[in-house]
Each structure stands twice: as C-alpha cells, then as structure tokens.
Amino acid sequence: MDHLKTIWAEYGNSPATLTILGVTLTLCVAISLLLFPGKTGDSIEISQLYVYPVKALRGSALQKAHIGQYGMVGDRTFSLQRVHRDAENPEKPPRYETMLAGYYLQLALFRATIEHEGNRENSVNGQVVVTWCGRNTEFDTAKDITTPDKIQFPLKPDVAGRKSFETSLHGSTAMAFDMGDEFSRWFSDRTGMEVRLVFIGNGSRPVLGPTMAPNSKGGLSKRRILDRAKGFLPFFTFPAERLVFNDIAHYLVVTEESNDALTAKLKDGYEMDVRKFRPNIVLKGASAPWVEDYWGEVTFDGGIQMPLMANCYRCQSITVDYDTGKTATDDRGMAWKKLNKDRRVDKGAKYSPVFGRYGYCFGSSTGKTVEIGQKGKVTHINKQRTTFDWPHLTGFGLTQ
C-alpha cells in the first residue's frame, strides 16, 4: 500500500496515469459484475421524510429534503444541554448533559419545525420554530410564564461572539455554541430544569463505532469487494464520516411493513405511530417485516447511494404519549415490551429490541435531494445481521 501511495504521489496527476486507472477500474467493474453480480432485493419507495433540528424534540415532516454533509440539512444541529452544578462548590465549572428523549420523555411536548418561505423545507436559510404543547399537563409547573409558547431562530445562526463549551454524546465530543440566555430561559421555564440551547456550528463529532461508518477502516472492511477497491483510489475516496447531534449515524431508515407488524401486536384499535421511532426516512415496499435487518445498502433514483451500517436498538421513548409527555397508559405504552419479545436480534445489544437501520450517504450525494414518492432499490443484502459495536453504548437503547 505504501508503494502505491508513492507511485500516486509522483505520477498521480498525469493524464496518462488517470487514463490507465480509469480503464483499469472500468475493467474491474465489468469483471466483478460478471463474476460477482451481488444479491439485490426489494424495490422500495420513500413514503415519509422527517428532520429534527433540535435533538430529542419532535421533528418536522417534509415533502422534500436537502442532503447535507452530516445527513439532512439542519438535522440535529441543535441540542439541549442540562446544566448540573455542584451545590457544595458553586465555583466549580458545571457539567453538561446532552438531553435524550429516552431519559426525558417530556421533551415530546416540544415540536420543532423548519420553515422557509412559507414551506416546511430544510433550507439553510430556514427558520427553526419550536412550539411547546405542554399546557395543562403535569409538566406545566411554572405558572408565572408570560412568554409565548412559540419561539424561532435561524437554522444556521451567526456564531460570532457566542460562548462555546464541550458537549458529549455517547462518548463522542464536540464544541458547541451557546445560543444565549433568552432561549435558555424559555426552555428552562418549560422543563423545570436549567438547560442551555446550543448549536454545533461548523463542528462535528467522531464516529466511535469501528464499523459504523462506510468510509472508516472497519466500515470499508464490511463493504463489497468493488467498493473496497474504490477506497484505495484517491479520486474515489471520501473522508471518514462524522456526526453532529445525531446519535450514531446520519440517517435512520425504517419500513412501513415493520411498523405494521408492531401495530398488529397492539390491542385492537391502537396503532403504532411510526414517528415515535424518530426516523429520517420511512420506506414502503419491503417484501416482509424485518427484512431490513439484512439490508446493507439502498440506492434511490438519482444515484443516491445509502449504505446501511448498523441496527437501531430501542429505548422507552417509543412508549411516549405526545399529549402528556409520559408513558402512554393504554396498550401503546407496552410497545417496547411487545417489541422486546422477539426483536432482540443483535448480538451487540443483547437486552434491547431492534427496529430500523442506521445509514449514511456518500459525499457525492451532498447537495442532492430526496422526496416522498422517490423510488429506490435494495442494492446489497448482507448474509447475516450486523453487530452493534459502539463502545459507549451497551444497553440503554437509542432514539436518534
């Protein structure tokens, strides 16, 4: 490999070298397709799209979504940080905790949308609108609140002069910018806790799972022979993926068929609301429930290639009642237990049920769009289920 790098450094920019490499790659593609055509699967269609500008809050349904460097543009670029102070040593710097929907079910009482020119569109020029829907619930405790139950701020605010501090999510850290006292007071009044609203700006977090990202060393080892070969050619190589405040990947993909299978486990009259799984992309067309466990890649019309790298194992957030901010008291509050009976299928997450797949888009998809009704194809099927291997996550479960 070092020898190849030396050759590239000396001759890589010459037209002759590029021509030879191009011809070689074309021959490799043709031969590999003839000898190893690969196993493909279902024809699929995007039925729902969601973006979540503030992590852990309810998100925004979209008709069309713009693809950015870290997932959908604006997805989880803000988060709420709970402030923990040392009562015995008030001069000690506080500890910040990234608030998660699974720990704080009442965050479901906040809805965050992105609006641009009258449409719900995740444009970089859009405005985030957060609405609190917690009036007359048990979380409506600060009776002297006089501020409106709706706020808004730019999806991409100016960070000049803003204070920053280190945040951590699942052991992966990033610097983030404090959005100021006005917004923090608004959230603190309605959560009953001291919290800060922060924006990640142009920062990002590392992917810690060794096989979680397609262009990481471990991720490359899991990809098909042809894709691995591309990884050795400089003009096909993309840098290893990074994250904002998304849990462990850029996208969470689920299917209507699996959601219907969980609905069938609930008592008559109840349906599982797929939004509680906090997906980015909902697909229809799977040949059966749970077949997505084995999907290694989907490709959408327009050449948008999305490797699916890991299972999403679930926490109690899927049991929340959107009207109360608490676990539902009817059979919908049993969704996690019903799922857990036969969906503990990932050896890396032995005690939690799996629903959905985590994925990425390659750098070449940045700037493109996906929309409802867009067709696609399962373009790679794994022989066996992937094993979850993010070291700081061993049993709690994820919400994305």
Where do the structural domains in the chain lie, given as residue ranges?
A: 43-48+208-381, 63-205
- Angstrom distance (rounded) from CA 166 to CA 176: 6
Crossing angle (nearest 10°) for helices 2-11 and 15-35: 140
Mean pLDDT score across all residues of the chain: 89
- Angstrom distance (rounded) from CA 244 to CA 246: 6
Which residues, other chains included, contact 183 with Cβ-Cβ below 8 Å and sequence gap of 6+? 151, 153, 197
Q: For residue 165, what are its two tokens?
A: 């501090």
What is residue 260's predicted lDDT score, i.e. its pLDDT? 98
State the residue for tokens 């290694």: 296
Who wins on pLDDT, 121 or 13? Answer: 121
Task: For residue range 331-382, list pLDDT tens digits in order.
Answer: 999 999 999 999 999 999 999 999 999 999 988 899 999 999 999 999 999 9
Task: For residue range 294-331, list pLDDT tens digits in order.
Answer: 999 999 999 999 999 999 999 999 999 999 999 999 99
What is residue 29's predicted lDDT score, i.e. its pLDDT? 44
State the residue for tokens 């399962």: 378
Task: For residue range 220-243, list pLDDT tens digits in order.
Answer: 556 555 555 555 555 456 788 999
- Angstrom distance (rounded) from CA 45 to CA 235: 31
- C-alpha pair distances (Å), 113 with each of 118, 153, 154, 283: 12, 11, 11, 21
Q: Which amino acid would we find at residue 339?
A: L
CATH architecture of 43-48+208-381: Beta Barrel (2.40)
CA atoms within 13 A on the CB side of 37: 4
- Angstrom distance (rounded) from CA 9 to CA 234: 10
Task: For residue range 145-163, list pLDDT tens digits in order.
Answer: 889 999 999 999 999 999 9
**Closest CA relative to residue 60, chosen from 129, 139, 117:** 129
